[in-house]
Amino acid sequence: MTHVYPGHFITFEGGEGSGKTTQLALLADTLRGLGFPVLQTREPGGTALGDAIRALILNGSKDDPDIDPKTELFLYLASRSQHVTEVIQPALTAGKIVLCDRFTDATLAYQGDGRKLPKEAIEQMTHFASYGLVPELTFFLDLDVQTGLARLKGREEINRMDQETFQFHNAVYQGYHSLARANPKRIVIIDASGTIDAIALKIQGHINAFLS
């Protein structure tokens, strides 16, 4: 769908430990400081229902520890539909800059390349679930898998997806690269191996060009 809103829809993607959440928060602060109305949100989640789904997917169920890959896909998509209609579309209609931590690219990379579900089916389902909404700009924070996973070790909360094998995370990483190759205008690859400030500056440069 062509972008028909007065606001802007920008997403952040990357593997575990790539620093996208930190960078999203920094960009939100910078944009607010410049006087832009910003909505900061994430997937799965972003709504009360989405947060409940997030807890289910990321923690799993005590009595049902293995989530079937298709069940997992549907849960991510269920969170997305609610998020798009309840939060994202109204914010874009109100002229806000929506910064979203993960969106449809994550489903293609994780459920497609990671879980090996068929990509064409996922593409159709994500289009349906997101009401055809596509980000105008996506930052892919590119960090090698080993470094990203090593960063997780310092975290208090390690979720069900974090605990997947290196092979899984590597397939996700390759998946993001092929998405970036297929969508060179929308997806900007950001080398995420530098300092937090250096990465923030690179992102800021792209945003300045995008907004002007």
Q: Which is nearer to ligand TMP, 151 or 202 (CB)?
A: 151
User: Encoding tokens for residue 125?
Assistant: 């389902």
List the beta strands (DSSP E) in 94-209.
Answer: 97-101, 137-142, 187-191
Amino acid at 102: R
Q: Which secondary structure element, helix H or strand E, spans residue 11, and what is its range?
A: strand 8-14
Under DSSP, the state recorded for 195 is -
Interaction mask 48-87, ligand TMP, x per CB under 6 A = ----------------------------x-----------
Minimum CB separation of residue 54 from ligand TMP in Å reads 7
* 43 is a contact residue toward ligand TMP (CB under 6 A): yes
* 9 is a contact residue toward ligand TMP (CB under 6 A): no
Choose, by CB under 6 A, the member of 5, 9, 110, 139 that binds ligand TMP.
Answer: 110
* 8 is a contact residue toward ligand TMP (CB under 6 A): no
Choose, by CB under 6 A, the member of 106, 125, 137, 203 that binds ligand TMP.
Answer: 106
The angle at the Cα of 43, spanning 177 to 16, to the nearest 5 degrees, equals 45
Among the listed residues 194, 201, 186, the one whose alpha carbon sits nearest the alpha carbon of residue 13: 186
CA distance 61 to 51: 15
CA distance 10 to 88: 11
Query: Which residues lie across from 39 on neighbouring strands?
Result: 98
Select the span of 2-10, 24-32, 36-44, 87-95 touching ligand TMP (CB under 6 A). 36-44
Give the count of residues interacting with ligand TMP (CB under 6 A): 11
Select the span of 26-34, 59-67, 85-93, 103-111 touching ligand TMP (CB under 6 A). 103-111
- Cα separation values, 128 from 25, 53, 133, Å: 29, 19, 9
Interaction mask 137-166, ligand TMP, x per CB under 6 A = ------------------------x-----
User: Encoding tokens for residue 82?
Assistant: 């609610």
Under DSSP, the state recorded for 35 is T
Minimum CB separation of residue 110 from ligand TMP in Å reads 3
Minimum CB separation of residue 7 from ligand TMP in Å reads 20
Give the interface with ligand TMP as residue ranges (CB under 6 A): 16, 42-44, 76, 102, 106-107, 110-111, 161
